[in-house]
A and B are shown apart, each in its own frame.
Chain A
Amino acid sequence: MTLRRTLMACMAALALPLAACGDQSDAAKKDGASGERVLNLYTARHYDGDLQVYAAFEKATGIRVNRIEGNPDQLIARMQAEGAASPADVFITADAGALWRAQDAGLLQPITSEVLTSAIPAALREPEGHFFGTSRRARVVAYDSTKVRPEEVDTYEELASPRFRGKLCVRSSDSVYNLSLVGALLEAWGPEKTKAWVEGVVANMARPPEGGDRDQIRAVGAGVCEVAITNSYYFIRMDRSTDPADVALTDKVKLGFPSLNGQGAHVNVSGGGVARNAPHRAEAIAFLEFLASPEAQVLNSEQNNEFPAAVGVQAPAGVREFESFTANPMNVSVYGRRQAEAQSIMSAAGWR
């Protein structure tokens, strides 16, 4: 009898919350009945600030946002498994290379939108309209201003020079940001020079790659290295922080913007595209257009310390101070195509 009672209790315990969450998100599967418009978002961004952007979109358009967050690769794998029945409308990720992977896997469809083409500069979107960059981040250098002069880190070549032998911190080649950076170098320099650069960087490493970008910046602060390769927003987040440790750190560590072939710093984007089988195509385009609007651009920049991508939108105070650098005009859609080659070169050179 005990067993049966235990089983019943378990079933009841299971059924109650299941029923409850069924109620909550029933609309996710059926949207036609009530006439409510919905948008299904697959996003590899997982910042709290994004929730505010979704809320603003819901308020502005009445379209409700359903979301699944995950890392880009898992979301791509999931969309592949879902095939034609995929409910995904928009795929968002924080790296142009990952967007290219989705495009390459045939998961995105090209769209035309007057709003997007006029708001987003050509370099920040895929030429055929498969994806659009909606915010910018530069992959640049945090340096110890007591030991390094700004002009010593104003080109990417210098990072691989003997000047920084044993004095460079950088994360592993598993990081998609590093893959995109080396992909961009491959595009700009070709394989020979890129290979030599990667080998120089490996020779310059103060320690085997470990941790994330923030950890590299902190390592500069702690004197483990003099320069670190980092995405701009991690540094700006620390620069805007009121935490005494971060304040002290950014007194000493500064952000430098090296130039690639004299044309400016390597810029990556966070952005999205419309899914190949999007059941709510119109809503999907409306969402991307909303992300390009000044309201969303500023909100996102304020929350995540990324630079706005849309023409004529200025970053809010705190981020604006870093916005005056020259951005390399290379089209962001080339990074992904070069990532496999980049990975092979980096692995061969011992960039773990």
Chain B
Amino acid sequence: MRLIGVLAALVAVLPLIGVVAAALSGATADIAATDLTRYALTSVALAGIVAAVTGVLGSIAAWLVVMHRFPGRGAFEWALALPFAMPAFAVAYAYADLFDVAGELNSWLRAAAGVALPFQMRSLWGAGFILGFAFFPYVYLAMRAAFTNLPVHALEAARSLGASPRRAFLSVALPMARPALAAGVALAVMETLADYGAVQFLSVQTLTTGVVRAWFVYGSLASAAQFALPLLGAAALLLWIERAGRRRRAYGSPGAKWRPLPVTALTGSKAWLAFAYCLLLLTLGLLLPAGWLAWSSIDVQPDWPRLISAARNTVTLGVGGAVVTVALATALALAARSLPLTARVASIGYATPGAVMAIGLLLPAAWIWSVVPGGSANVVAGLALLLYAYAARLMAAALEPVDAGLSRVTPSMIHAARGLGASEGAAAWRVQLPIAAPALFTAAIVVLVDVLKELPATLILRPFNFDTLAVIADNYARDERLANAGWPSLILVALALPPVIWLSRKAAHARPGSE
């Protein structure tokens, strides 16, 4: 069992070893230190803005939905997670176009009122806003789970000691949910660092810009990899925060009885404010960007055969990636019971920027291409390599739910199985896995949605004549044909919506002791 776990971890870590190996080799690029400092500061600033935006938006939304009753609450409870289905690059296309200084909206405003909007999406703040709205569901889901599981007696104690609802939120609920907040924000920031496409499209120059410049303009893989090292460090730090957040998640009092949460019914203007707030999040995160993409692509005749074939490829990769990643994550999680560090190291790929991961993935890819017949023209090897790349990138996303599922199996259950003569493997297969099965399925759905939106690994590793929807959208966007990029993006959203809805609805009904 340990051996399998170590192997699974090795699989995930190989690209990172590739990056480090590259950093130690060859000539360095002539990139000014001032430029690098600027890129690094921009990365930090962007991460900070996204952390703040997602933290505030997601926490308030979760608090409203869990602890209050207002019009539309039942729908918002799951619908607020839907922006997950929208790839960040598609949100970026839509907003950059919508608010472009020469775009339709501003042109119309100038003609009608003689003014233009005073802000620009292609800026640090614009990128922070866009990624914040793309990633707030991470915080929302984490906080929703945390609030749902609040021990009622703590809140009642606060209220009976005279705390206002707001005070109870700020000084009891929020501190108790702090680990979940840290975990959710860490995920959002990791996605921000890993982003490929959106930030560059918005002309914001982060460390990724430095990596790309060093690699290609100056032809120095070594420098590129060296700039990537701080990003890997940041990734490791965020993972540590996220794991630590989860470890301390249980503030609980194990003996306390589970009772329904004291839900406040909002009335009048308060109710409508809550409604408007949730609607605003949903609108800015999903409806407006998706709607604008749809509106801009209306006149474009889509190339259906190509899109359908790409959609089929996308779904195939999604399902395949989900199965492979969850299988590896499960092996890792089982082994991690005795080797906790392996799991943490194997998760770093999740926060590694796409451009950096591409450097690292080429190392194992080169080995595979050199041994299979036909090299990279071998379709089966090519697809296997892609599935492998997804596992390396998305291990952390699968590991979290898998780990949570397996932790429902108490040591005494395993001891019982072993005592009845089952081997370690048989105990895992017949006891641990069946109990964790729903969690494994959840993990598979999470990975599926992420693979549907995946871009950098797919771009660089895919076999001949093989396009995914994200690849087609990216091609059009780089050719500055945004209207054409709308169709593949929207089909992608349509494919990702059902699994996201399923995930969100399932998680919404997860209060222990309730039905």
Contacts and interface: CB of A to CB of B under 8 A. Distances in A.
Partners in one complex: yes
Interface of A: 1-3, 6-7, 10-11, 13-14, 17-18, 20-22, 24-26, 28-30, 40, 46-48, 66-74, 76-78, 80-83, 85-87, 101, 104-105, 172, 174, 179, 207-215, 218-219, 221-222, 224, 234, 243, 245, 339-340, 343-344, 347-348, 352
Interface stretch (B65-73, B215-223, B493-501): B215-223
B118 to A, nearest CB: 13
A28 B323 CA distance: 26
Interface string B261-303: 0000000000000000000000000000000000000010001
B460 A70 contact: yes
Chain B binding surface, main DSSP class: helix
A69 B320 contact: no
Given A29-B379, A215-B102, A14 B479 contact: no
Nearest to A105: B219
Interface centre among B215, B377, B380, B433 (most CB of A within 10 A): B377
Nearest to B374: A29
Given A17-B316, A71-B459, A83-B370, A2 B377 contact: no
Given A73-B215, A85-B370, A347-B31, A78 B440 contact: no
A2 B375 CA distance: 39
Interface in B474-509: 475-476, 478-480, 484
A6 B102 contact: no
Interface in B337-376: 358-359, 362-363, 365-366, 369-370, 373-376
Interface residues of B, number: 79
B303 A87 contact: no
A209 B203 contact: yes
B30 A344 contact: yes
Contact of B213 (A28, A174, A234, A348): A174
Nearest to B29: A340
Contacts, number: 191
B26 to A, nearest CB: 12
Given A71-B459, A172-B203, A211 B35 contact: no
Given A25-B463, A339-B217, A340-B218, A71 B379 contact: no
Contact of A66 (B369, B380, B465): B465
Q: Secondary structure at chain A's binding surface: helix, strand, loop or mixed?
A: helix
B63 to A, nearest CB: 35
B100 to A, nearest CB: 6
Nearest to A17: B316
B379 A6 contact: no
Most central of B215, B322, B376, B437 by chain A CB within 10 Å: B376
A343 B362 contact: no
Interface in B452-478: 459-467, 471, 475-476, 478
Given A28-B377, A85-B369, A174-B209, 16 more contacts: A2-B437, A3-B433, A14-B320, A48-B303, A66-B464, A68-B466, A69-B475, A73-B215, A76-B216, A78-B362, A83-B369, A83-B370, A87-B464, A101-B219, A211-B96, A219-B101
A10 B322 contact: yes
Interface string B174-218: 000000000000000000000000001011010001001101111
Interface string B304-341: 00000000110110011011000000000000000000
Contacts of B466: 21, 25, 68
A46 B475 CA distance: 6
B212 A174 contact: yes
Given A18-B320, A46-B478, A73-B216, A87 B376 contact: yes
22 contacts: A17-B312, A17-B315, A21-B316, A22-B379, A28-B377, A46-B476, A46-B479, A48-B484, A69-B471, A72-B216, A73-B212, A73-B216, A77-B359, A82-B369, A82-B375, A85-B369, A85-B375, A174-B205, A174-B212, A209-B203, A213-B480, A347-B31
B122 A81 contact: no
Contact of B375 (A11, A87, A212, A213): A87
Contacts of B415: none
B480 A71 contact: no
